[in-house]
Amino acid sequence: MNEFFVSFWNVNNLFDTLTTSIGSTIEFTPDRGWNNIVKNKKIENLAHVINSLHDNQGPDIIGLCEIESEKLALNLIDKLRVEKEYSIAKYLDSPDIRGIDTCLLYSKKLFRLNTVKGYSTQLRYPTRDILAVNLTVLSNNADLNIIVNHWPSRAGGRFETEPLRIAVAENCARAVEDILKINQNELQNLPWDLRYDEKSISLLNDRWNKNILLMGDFNDNPYDRSILSYLRATPDKRKLMNWDEIFEHPIQKRWPCNKQTDKHNYLFYQGYLFNCMWSLIPDGTIFYDGGYDLFDQFMVSRGLLNGEQGLKIAL
């Protein structure tokens, strides 16, 4: 299995100098000192650090957030390592009120882009989409799904804004389940007692073990409710079970629908992700109010954790 490197960075208000959005019009204008000279210097500094990552080899995939436009992403690519042949995984403009979005860059030498999808969260105000990208690894034809996140900030108070991040966590979990679970139409054609049908279990497990990598600025720590209880990203690898184990596990006796069929339980079951960041606690990625927070995180599906389908994360 060939090795490749993945990074994520919140580029912190990378706006253009054009007054074409609410965010840039209010905050980033020449009157406030934001001009092409400053913008270009910021891009140059960002590129310098990105190129220095992974022993000066640079990442093969990099997720970004707080970037205003595809044009700015292209400006950044112009400063990155030419040999990587970076491309943008179709920049999607979200309805975010400040005009900042998530974005994914990947090396065309190593990956083929298949699909790009945005998941919107319906809050009282427009917020950025969750970006879901499907790639093929050219060296072994493995499938890789990457979900890039930038959840609502804590401006206004941690607990006051927590429900906003919980809402986005539920949408992110839905994006994960869209990849890892078959839909109800497919499920209808399977036997009601799934656990006793080898073909059905094989089908469910094959889907369940797809490679998913979540990355982003979640504006919550790994132990906060949005991450741990709603996205269900855990430090406990034992919770990431296959379907033959899930159906027979003693804890499932407490399912609300345990008297229903395996099909019902399949639909109700909320799976787990593995959060790769717990070993970094109590260190963090951001220092605020006298302490560190670990807001920038990587999480993986069972398949990517265990190397079930051609790829395995190195922990």
pLDDT tens by residue, 191-214: 999 999 999 999 999 999 999 999
Residue 182 predicted with pLDDT over 70: yes
Rounded average pLDDT over 109-131: 93
DSSP 128: P
Cα–Cα distance, 230 to 88 (Å, whole number): 30
Task: For residue 25, name the pLDDT band (cuts at 50, 70, 90).
Answer: low
pLDDT at residue 142, rounded to an integer:
98
Residue 103 zone, left/alpha/beta (φ > 0; ψ -120 to 50; rest): beta
pLDDT at residue 20, rounded to an integer:
59
DSSP 260: S
Q: Is 280 helix (H, G, I), strand (E, B) or coil?
A: helix
Rounded average pLDDT over 281-306: 88
Rounded average pLDDT over 17-41: 77
pLDDT at residue 77, rounded to an integer:
98
Give the pairing of strands 212-217 and 142-150: parallel
**Tens-digit pLDDT profile for residues 156-178:** 999 999 999 999 999 999 999 99
Task: For residue 88, name the pLDDT band (cuts at 50, 70, 90).
Answer: very high
Cα–Cα distance, 66 to 73 (Å, whole number): 11
On average, the pLDDT of the chain sits at 92
Residue 130 predicted with pLDDT over 80: yes
Rounded average pLDDT over 40-44: 97
Residue 19 predicted with pLDDT over 90: no
Q: Which of 51-60, 195-204, 278-287 has the lowest mean pLDDT?
A: 278-287
Which residues pair with residue 61 across a beta bridge? 6, 106
pLDDT at residue 286, rounded to an integer:
77
Task: For residue 2, name the pLDDT band (cuts at 50, 70, 90).
Answer: confident
Distances in whole angstroms, Cα of residue 122 to Cα of each of 67, 164, 165, 267, 285: 21, 10, 12, 23, 28
Rounded average pLDDT over 50-69: 97
pLDDT at residue 282, rounded to an integer:
85
Q: Which of 121-135, 175-189, 301-315 has the lowest mean pLDDT?
A: 121-135
Task: For residue 23, name the pLDDT band (cuts at 50, 70, 90).
Answer: low
Q: Give the residue from 152, 273, 148 showing the smallest Cα distance to 222.
A: 273
pLDDT at residue 256, rounded to an integer:
55
Rounded average pLDDT over 135-154: 97
Q: Cα torsion at 148, 54, 3, 144 (round to 10°)? A: 10
pLDDT at residue 151, rounded to an integer:
97
Distances in whole angstroms, Cα of residue 44 to Cα of each of 47, 116, 194: 5, 28, 55
Q: Give the residue from 34, 43, 156, 66 showing the smallest Cα distance to 25.
A: 34
